[in-house]
Every structure is written in structure tokens, then in C-alpha cells.
């Protein structure tokens, strides 16, 4: 059930109490007592916040994760319909000594929306839904539980506007935006978080603060890239752009890559060079690979003739590549193409898969690292019979809006726009291994772990850790906390740890991969 409206969002924000300057929060020991759950539910009831607990009527549906491989049991799941109820739930959790975890769309690959471990108080945000576009400024106020499909439809309906975001309409705005928000428009228009100009944040203290480049700017920087470690975003203010009238979606076959490892290596080397220096800003593209071969797919902001002109310098270098489909659509039509259907998420929204996934952000792919990646693809990977695939997105490069943003300085010289750490990376790689029936095998993890290890070992030797990282929206909690913090936030980690010590030293907002506070 979706609970709120735009009016409800506005009323909830007013009811949440005064906006404060972000203050230092004193540490307390989070350690629920044996009767803490009873006290928690009593507190939630007194606050008028709806909730579910184990054994209640809707618990099974409320606690079911997107990734069935990773299941946790929260102490309770609060379902606020106003931001004042969300604040009350947080305070109830703190009073009882519980870790508190916000859950937006619920698509976390590691079920971090359920805490990443047992015993958390989960605060569902999908009762906080609303999009309001200001026709004077073209800034949209968006409630934290809104899903991407709803956001896209409402921005277009209310003013023909858009932001850059991912392709799955059921993904929640919050998890997507707070850790990056890459999609099929990012090469042209940047990450989803690049369009955030302000937000209201519920801190671990219970204070509701506004954060922007000029208000609580350190918190704003931390939230945009590592937000789940710092607070609960209640609403966002997004700048928008005019939705384009012409968007051409396309796919291209790479027939020589099917069984020819050398052709794939040569093609990947060409893709690296072209993507780095020559890929037009209007083009968005990724390589898709499976056990059967590879293809290109993407979006061009313009007509089919413009697309063919953009790809003409590249395709001959990829060993007989050819465009197999192109279709010029409007903005919503292009979004529907990559959503494989309607942009309106069903209610209730309850998809499930069983899988293991990993990611890489790479400054480039060449030399021994390229050979290792291809050797694994044409060797060990082809002996795995599960439904696996990978995507290599053209993420950065000279003409990419992702690389072009964040040139100012913020805390400790970091990019002022966000704590997202991978703007200098050319490729964003996702590797996904799915069990279509039954449980994911206990001995299956070595498949993708090995692929990543083989690919990165030469990079670590040749270019150091700065030449690669991982993307937090394709999260892998099996990494362990120290490794996860390093690969997801790289050079920004020391500053993030100092800010964590300032805003949440007792780690009310904790997960197995969250930012650890620096020792003060």
C-alpha cells in the first residue's frame, strides 16, 4: 500500500519539528535489552507509527528481501506515512538501543535495507511518496519513498522535465541517489545525485536539518555518495532538465566476439581508447556479455542518423560490429524501452531473485588486466551453467558528464558536489550470477570473486588501488567492512570517517559496509 500524497509530504515536513543546524551527536551504547522489542512496539504505538513485527499478519511480505539469498530478521519494521512518524520511529529505536535502518525501494543486493544483520529497527519509506515540480524554478521536491518510474512520470506530466537516473522503475529514489545513481543518460547528464540541490535529513539525534551546498554543506557532501551511513533523507530537491523530444535506443551485434577471445581483447582495447577520448557526450552505451557472446546497447540523444554518425568511427574497430536495431522515441518511450514495460511500479511491489553480484569501477581496461578479464570470460565463466551476465558501462571519459562534475572542492579538498569517489573511472562493471531455481549454491561465490580478483590483481600491481574501485549500488557485503569502505569510497574515506564521528559516532545508522567513525 502506498500511503502518502504530495500534500501529506508537506504536512509531514512541517510536523517533523523545527529545522536545526546539524549538530554534533554524543555517543551512546546501542545494546537492546531483553524486553526492548516490547518497549519499542509500545513506543511506536504511542507515536501512532504503523509497524509490523515477527508473527504479525503482513510480516512475511514486509520482511521478504529482493535478493532471496540474503535474508535477515529485523526486530520490527515501521511504516510511517508522515515524516513526523518517521522521526518518532527513529527516536523509539534509539531509546530502545536499536540500530535504525531506512528502507526505500528495497533493491539492495545485500539486503542492507533490512540492516544487513538481524535485529534492526527498519523504517520503510515507501509510505512517503510525492513529486511536486515548481513551475517557476523547475526544481522538484521528491519524497524519499518515491520510485524512479513514478518520479519520471510525474516530472514529465507536471512540466515535461527529467533528471538523469537508472533504468529500473521500481528502484527507490533514496538508495539510488545517495550512492550515485548511474543510468542510460549519465554520460550525457551525469549521475542522479548530480541533480540534487538540497535535501531534508533526519539525523541520528532526531533533528531534521536541511542540507545543500550552502547549508550544512559537509553533511550534504557526505549524504551524496554515502548517505546511508549519515542519516535518513526525508525529501530531495532536484534541479531538472527539459525532457528531450528525440531519444534513439539501439543495439549492435558483435558477431566475431562469440568464440574469439582475441577479437574480444582487440575490441575492448578499441572501446577503451574511443570511450576515453572520442565518445560523443550525447551517446550513452554499455557492453553486455554472457556465455553466448556480447553486444552493445544504449541511448543517443538525437535521431537515428545522428546515432549512426556517432558510432561510425567505432564499429569498424570492433570486428564486424553492426547496428541491429534502432528506434527513435520520446523521453518516456526510451525509459520504457529499458524498463521492459510500464514505468508505473505495481502496488504492492514485490519482486524477488536469487543471485550474487559484484562490481568494478576501472580507470581503463588494458594490458594484463584486460587479458585476465577476457581469459576468465572465455575460460572459467563458460563452464558455469547458471544464468550469469556482465555489463561494462561507459561511465567516464573526456566527454562524460560524470567526469565533468565535481571540480570544486569541499571538505578536505574533496569534490564539493558529492562524496561519490569514481568520477575518474572510465568503466563501471556489473557482474551478476543468478540461480533461476532453488538456492544459490554455497560453492558459487568463487565464480565472481575469482573474476574480480583476476582482473584487479594486475591493476593493483601496476597502478595501485587508485586505478579501480567498486560501486556501492551494486553492493557486496561479503567483502568485509574494511575492504568495502576502501573500495566503495576510496580517497574520500578519511573525510567520511571524520564526518561520521561528528554526525553519528554511536553508529545508529550501521550496516556491515557502513562508514566507521574516526576515533576522536
Tens digits of pLDDT across the chain (520 residues) = 333 333 333 333 333 443 444 433 333 346 676 689 999 999 999 999 999 999 999 999 999 999 999 999 999 999 999 999 999 999 999 999 999 999 999 999 999 999 999 999 999 999 999 999 999 999 999 999 999 999 999 999 999 999 999 999 999 999 999 999 999 999 999 999 999 999 999 999 999 999 999 999 999 999 999 999 999 999 999 999 999 999 999 999 999 999 999 999 999 999 999 999 999 999 999 999 999 999 999 999 999 999 999 999 999 999 989 999 999 999 999 999 999 999 999 988 999 999 999 999 999 999 999 999 999 999 999 999 999 999 999 999 999 999 985 444 333 344 447 999 999 999 999 999 999 999 999 999 999 999 999 999 999 887 677 899 999 999 999 999 999 999 999 999 999 999 999 999 999 999 999 999 999 6
The span from the CA of 193 to the CA of 191, in Å, is 5
- Counting Cα atoms < 13 Å in the Cβ hemisphere of 296 gives 28
pLDDT at residue 13, rounded to an integer: 38
The answer to whether 130 and 82 are in contact (CB under 8 A) is: no
By C-alpha distance, which of 426, 403, 399 is closest to 415? 403
Taking the C-alpha atoms of residue 514 and residue 419, their distance in angstroms, rounded to an integer, is 14
Q: At what angle do helices 83-96 and 36-47 cross, to 10 degrees?
A: 160
Q: What is the pLDDT of residue 28?
A: 38
User: Taking CA 196 as the corner, what is the angle to CA 190 and CA 198, rounded to the nearest 5 degrees?
Assistant: 160
Cα separation values, 160 from 42, 183, 301, 327, 333, Å: 46, 19, 16, 21, 13
Check: CB of residue 111 under 8 Å from CB of residue 66.
yes
3-state secondary structure of 37: helix
C-alpha distance across the termini of the chain, in Å: 44
The two beta strands, 241-242 and 232-239, are: unpaired
What's the confidence (pLDDT) of residue 273?
Answer: 98
Per-residue pLDDT at 34: 63
Taking the CB of residue 444, how many other CB atoms lie within 10 A of it? Answer: 18
The 10 Å Cβ neighbour count of residue 144 is: 31
pLDDT attached to residue 30: 67
Domains of the chain: 1-23+38-244 (3.30.465.10), 247-329 (3.40.462.20), 355-496 (3.40.462.20)
Question: What is the pLDDT at residue 341?
Answer: 95
Task: Report strand pairing: 293-300 vs 387-394.
Answer: unpaired
Strand partners, 76: 121
Degrees (nearest 5) of the Cα angle 469, 221, 503? 105
Check: CB of residue 492 under 8 Å from CB of residue 388: no
Q: In what order do the strands lie in the sheet with 51-52?
A: 51-52, 76-78, 121-124, 100-103
What pLDDT, on the 0 to 100 scale, is given for residue 417? 76
Supply the pTM of this predicted model.
0.92
Amino acid at each position: 500500500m502506498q500511503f502518502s500524497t504530495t500534500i501529506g509530504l508537506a504536512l509531514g515536513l512541517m510536523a517533523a519539528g523545527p529545522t536545526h543546524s546539524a549538530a554534533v551527536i554524543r555517543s551512546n551504547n546501542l545494546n537492546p535489552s531483553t524486553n526492548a522489542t516490547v518497549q519499542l512496539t509500545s513506543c511506536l504505538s504511542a507515536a501512532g507509527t504503523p509497524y509490523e513485527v515477527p508473527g504479525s499478519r503482513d510480516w512475511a511480505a514486509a520482511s521478504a528481501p529482493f535478493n532471496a539469498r540474503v535474508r535477515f530478521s529485523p526486530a520490527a519494521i515501521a511504516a510511517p506515512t508522515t515524516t513526523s512518524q518517521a522521526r518518532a520511529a527513529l527516536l523509539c529505536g534509539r531509546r530502545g538501543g536499536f540500530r535504525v535502518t531506512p528502507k526505500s525501494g528495497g533493491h539492495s543486493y545485500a539486503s542492507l535495507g533490512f540492516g544487513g544483520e538481524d535485529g534492526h529497527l527498519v523504517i520503510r519509506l515507501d509510505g512517503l511518496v510525492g513529486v511536486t515540480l515548481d513551475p517557476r524554478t523547475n526544481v522538484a521536491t521528491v519524497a524519499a519513498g518515491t520510485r524512479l518510474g513514478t518520479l519520471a512520470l510525474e516530472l514529465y506530466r507536471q512540466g515535461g522535465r527529467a533528471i538523469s537516473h537508472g533504468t529500473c522503475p521500481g528502484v527507490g529514489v533514496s538508495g539510488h541517489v545517495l550512492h550515485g545513481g548511474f543510468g542510460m543518460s549519465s554520460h550525457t547528464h551525469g549521475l542522479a545525485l548530480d541533480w540534487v540541490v538540497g535535501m531534508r535529513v533526519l539525523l541520528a539525534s532526531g533533528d531534521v536539518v536541511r542540507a545543500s551546498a550552502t547549508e550544512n554543506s559537509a553533511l550534504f557532501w557526505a549524504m551524496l555518495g554515502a548517505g546511508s551511513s549519515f542519516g535518513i533523507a526525508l525529501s530531495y530537491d532536484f534541479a531538472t532538465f527539459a525532457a528531450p523530444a528525440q531519444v534513439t535506443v539501439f543495439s549492435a551485434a558483435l558477431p566475431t566476439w562469440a568464440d574469439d577471445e582475441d577479437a574480444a581483447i582487440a575490441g575492448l582495447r578499441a572501446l577503451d581508447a574511443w570511450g576515453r577520448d572520442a565518445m560523443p557526450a550525447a551517446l550513452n552505451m554499455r557492453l553486455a556479455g554472457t556465455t553466448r557472446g556480447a553486444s552493445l546497447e544504449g541511448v543517443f540523444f538525437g535521431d537515428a542518423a545522428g546515432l549512426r554518425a556517432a558510432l561510425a568511427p567505432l564499429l569498424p574497430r570492433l570486428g564486424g560490429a553492426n547496428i541491429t536495431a534502432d528506434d527513435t522515441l520520446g523521453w518516456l518511450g526510451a525509459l520504457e524501452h529499458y524498463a521492459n514495460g510500464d514505468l508505473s511500479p505495481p502496488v504492492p511491489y514485490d519482486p524477488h531473485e536469487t543471485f550474487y553480484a559484484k562490481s568494478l569501477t576501472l580507470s581503463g581496461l588494458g594490458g594484463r588486466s584486460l587479458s585476465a578479464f577476457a581469459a576468465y570470460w572465455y575460460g572459467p565463466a563458460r563452464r558455469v551453467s547458471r544464468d550469469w551476465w556482465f555489463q561494462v558501462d561507459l561511465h567516464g571519459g573526456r566527454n562524460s558528464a560524470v567526469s565533468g562534475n565535481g571540480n570544486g572542492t569541499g571538505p578536505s579538498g574533496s569534490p564539493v558536489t558529492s562524496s561519490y569517489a569514481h568520477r575518474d573511472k572510465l568503466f563501471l562493471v556489473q557482474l551478476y550470477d543468478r540461480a533461476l531455481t532453488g538456492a544459490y549454491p554455497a560453492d558459487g561465490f568463487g565464480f565472481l570473486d575469482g573474476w574480480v580478483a583476476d582482473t584487479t590483481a594486475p591493476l593493483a600491481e601496476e597502478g595501485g588501488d587508485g586505478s579501480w574501485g567498486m560501486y556501492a549500488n551494486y553492493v557486496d557485503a561479503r567483502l568485509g567492512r574494511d575492504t568495502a569502505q576502501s573500495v566503495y569510497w576510496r580517497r574520500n574515506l578519511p573525510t567520511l570517517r571524520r564526518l561520521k564521528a561528528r554526525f553519528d559516532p554511536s553508529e545508529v545508522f550501521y550496516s556491515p559496509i557502513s562508514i566507521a567513525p574516526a576515533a576522536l
